[in-house]
Structure 1
Amino acid sequence: MGDLTIGWIGMGRMGYPMAERLVKAGHVVHIWNRTREKAAPLAAKGAVLVDSPRDLAGCDVLFTMVSTGKDVEAVYFGPDGVLSGGKGGKVPKIFVDCSSIGVDQSAEIRARLGEFGTVLVAAPVSGNGKCVKAGKLSAVASGPRAAYDKVKDLIECFAPRGCAYVGEGELSRFCKIAHNVLLGVVTQNLAEITILAQKAGVPRAAFLEFINDSVMGSIFTRYKTNAFVNLDWTTTFTPALLRKDLDLGLAAGRDLDVPMPVTAATREALQAHFGAATLQDDPDAYLQKDFAALLETVALGAGVTLESEERPMPTGLEVIAEAAE
């Protein structure tokens, strides 16, 4: 593992702290990002900043963490992509894509990489940027077992809670889609019951403290509590990205003949948030805020006016984050 040359594409809310953990672990990581300024701080910490994806063609392992399948295709196969040197040029031995993309698109990318004589390990992750920094990220992987075994330790540098290998092909993509469907359903329902309790007279902080300490509490409900209590919509994941994943889940359900009525209802509830955004002074900016702002749409439907309770709540990540530094 220590002798592998590592490349990384994507310095967003997730990609930056994930690559940073590899750098902190002592790996030399060659990085590229479409907006160079976002990558520069990691270069100051020891990463090697390159000018284009093409410059990463000589790496042994290339990681990608970007927004969409189209972005993956662009940085792999585009005019200045990693593989733009052609089939006779240098090619990373293993591609590891941590992005959340569709199953069919992933399969097509895998097949195209095979034409270059290389392989893909699909390794989407569970968590947000704060989870990465706190050492609470986990991952799920699929693809050739031999390739996975070579990169497992690297993946677990940024996903120390573990990486579950689930088999060949795109099986990890199905796992990630299912994961994000659950994310949407839980968030929507958590917003609904929080507003229900508030309208009955229960402070949000008290209600969520009860939920978090109950058998229904989770890492997720605890770290979203501060957002719900204090109306902090600092972005970890946008409503548009959540809508994309719900659509992917529903499409998979249709393909596999799995009824998903709860997911369908959640998708329509989420769509109401996009309509409610038009009531804001800047709808586009509002929709770039965190998906926890769904709480405001539920409150609007219930005739409830939200105010911050001005009570900072522990997220469960603070102490771990300090220990990880």
Structure 2
Amino acid sequence: MKVGFIGLGNMGQGMAQNLLKAGHTLAVYNRTRAKAEPFQAKGARIASSPRDAAQGAEAVLTILSDDPAVEEVVFGGEGLVAGLERGAIHISSSTISVALSERLAAEHAQAGQGYVSAPVFGRPDAAAAQQLWVLAAGAPADVERVRPLLEALGRGLTVLAEKASSANVVKLSGNFLIASMTEALAEAFALARKSGVEAKTFLEVFQAVFARSPIFERYAALIAEGKYEPPGFALRLGLKDVGLVLEAAGDAQVPMPLASLVKDHLLTGVARGFGELDWSALGALAAERAGLEKL
């Protein structure tokens, strides 16, 4: 397929590479052009704008950090809506608000374009290794048309409802699970260390008794080692995502007190200057509260 690809950050680089490996033709755009240049040597065309990336494409995939970044590349005279042909499809893999996903569905429908919400679970190393888990929601015909692209991105695909924003609800719910799990790990490690148990010893117990998920085990190891750089997922983005969780919960009238607590801890992390660290740096905050020295 002819694909426009917008967003070559930590996640996007691996995803774009896997689409090229699968034989798709890419026009890539990134606000920082230097990140797009390595893909030119691999056969991709460097687009001058989101609109340019969308022109002539059967589908455009965006993977960007937040709502404002998505709005910037989608709307306006140089946005992808202006360049995307009727019948072509926008695939949004960004973690965005439910409200923005619903707006995207409406705007694309008005323009005669398709929209598939396809957020992903996984860190940059999983993206590079084609080990993401992909969600997809949208009109069934649109989802089927872009299925080859989605399957090229990861190890599995879950197709959800026709309502595109349902994929964003599932993605945000999953990220809340990770955030709350990481907070629990952080507090458990701080208690063990403050009580004289070495972090690596507690990690061994955790791995032998509790670890059943690669996600859970990965974050436990990061906290045990105090290894919060380079970030696989920045703490400031975790704050953004848990904020979106609470926004969706408010709209649905679902009380989530633990989510509020985790948001406050993430906010504390940003205030402490940890925003660009991995969000497992919740471990550093828990250790600080316990009066422990850095690992």
TM-score by length of 1: 0.85
Indicate conservation of the 8 Å contact 2:88/2:113, yes or no: yes
Indicate conservation of the 8 Å contact 1:58/1:91, yes or no: no
**1:265-276 correspondence runs (5 A):** 265-275=261-271
Corresponding letter in the other structure for 1:82: L
In 1, the alpha carbon distance for the partners of 2:121 and 2:242 equals 16
Corresponding letter in the other structure for 2:41: A
Gaps of at least 5 residues in structure 2 are: none
- Residue 291 in 1 paired to residue 279 in 2? yes
Report how far residue 216 of structure 1 moved: 4.2
Residue in 2 aligned with 1:71? 69
- What CA deviation, in whole Å up to 9, does each residue of 1:160-209 have, x standing for no partner? 2x111110121101001101111110111111101111122222122123
Alignment equivalent of 1:197, drawn from 192, 200, 214: 192
In 1, the alpha carbon distance for the partners of 2:146 and 2:39 equals 22
In 2, the alpha carbon distance for the partners of 1:154 and 1:230 equals 36
Residue in 2 aligned with 1:242? 238
Report how far residue 60 of structure 1 moved: 0.4
Residue in 2 aligned with 1:83? 81
In 1, the alpha carbon distance for the partners of 2:215 and 2:182 equals 9
Indicate conservation of the 8 Å contact 1:96/1:121, yes or no: yes
Residue in 2 aligned with 1:61? 59
Over 3 Å counting, the alpha-carbon distance change for 1:46 and 1:210 in structure 2 is farther
Determine helix, strand or coil for the equivalent of 1:84.
helix
Determine helix, strand or coil for the equivalent of 1:247.
helix
Residue in 2 aligned with 1:19? 16
Corresponding letter in the other structure for 1:83: V
In 2, the alpha carbon distance for the partners of 1:91 and 1:66 equals 23
Corresponding letter in the other structure for 1:194: F
Corresponding letter in the other structure for 2:16: A
Residue in 2 aligned with 1:258? 254
Count residues with an aligned counterpart. 292
Residue in 2 aligned with 1:8? 5
Residue in 2 aligned with 1:280? none
In 2, the alpha carbon distance for the partners of 1:68 and 1:91 equals 26
Alignment equivalent of 1:155, drawn from 145, 150, 157: 150
Report how far residue 74 of structure 1 moved: 1.9
Report how far residue 215 of structure 1 moved: 4.0
- Residue 230 in 1 paired to residue 225 in 2? yes
Alignment equivalent of 2:160, drawn from 143, 156, 166: 166
TM-score by length of 2: 0.93
Residue in 2 aligned with 1:105? 100
Indicate conservation of the 8 Å contact 1:205/1:225, yes or no: no
Indicate conservation of the 8 Å contact 1:238/1:291, yes or no: yes
Over 3 Å counting, the alpha-carbon distance change for 1:90 and 1:118 in structure 2 is closer
Determine helix, strand or coil for the equivalent of 2:10.
coil
Over 3 Å counting, the alpha-carbon distance change for 1:114 and 1:192 in structure 2 is same
In 2, the alpha carbon distance for the partners of 1:14 and 1:211 equals 29
Indicate conservation of the 8 Å contact 2:189/2:224, yes or no: no
Report how far residue 226 of structure 1 moved: 4.1
- Residue 50 in 1 paired to residue 47 in 2? yes
In 2, the alpha carbon distance for the partners of 1:269 and 1:69 equals 22
Report how far residue 91 of structure 1 moved: 4.4
Corresponding letter in the other structure for 1:259: P
Residue in 2 aligned with 1:142? 137
**1:108-127 correspondence runs (5 A):** 108-127=103-122
**Stretches of 4+ moved more than 3 A in 1?**
89-92
What do you get for the CA RMSD once the two structures are aligned? 1.7
Corresponding letter in the other structure for 2:51: R
- What CA deviation, in whole Å up to 9, does each residue of 1:24-75 have, x standing for no partner? 2222211111110011112222222122212222100110101122222221
Corresponding letter in the other structure for 2:81: L
Residue in 2 aligned with 1:206? 201
Over 3 Å counting, the alpha-carbon distance change for 1:82 and 1:274 in structure 2 is closer
Report how far residue 269 of structure 1 moved: 2.2
Identity %: 33
Over 3 Å counting, the alpha-carbon distance change for 1:92 and 1:30 in structure 2 is farther
Corresponding letter in the other structure for 1:295: G
Corresponding letter in the other structure for 1:60: E
In 2, the alpha carbon distance for the partners of 1:217 and 1:299 equals 25
Corresponding letter in the other structure for 1:52: S
In 1, the alpha carbon distance for the partners of 2:78 and 2:132 equals 31
Residue in 2 aligned with 1:320? none
In 1, the alpha carbon distance for the partners of 2:100 and 2:76 equals 15
**1:300-315 correspondence runs (5 A):** 300-307=288-295
Report how far residue 118 of structure 1 moved: 0.7
Residue in 1 aligned with 2:183? 188
Indicate conservation of the 8 Å contact 1:139/1:163, yes or no: yes
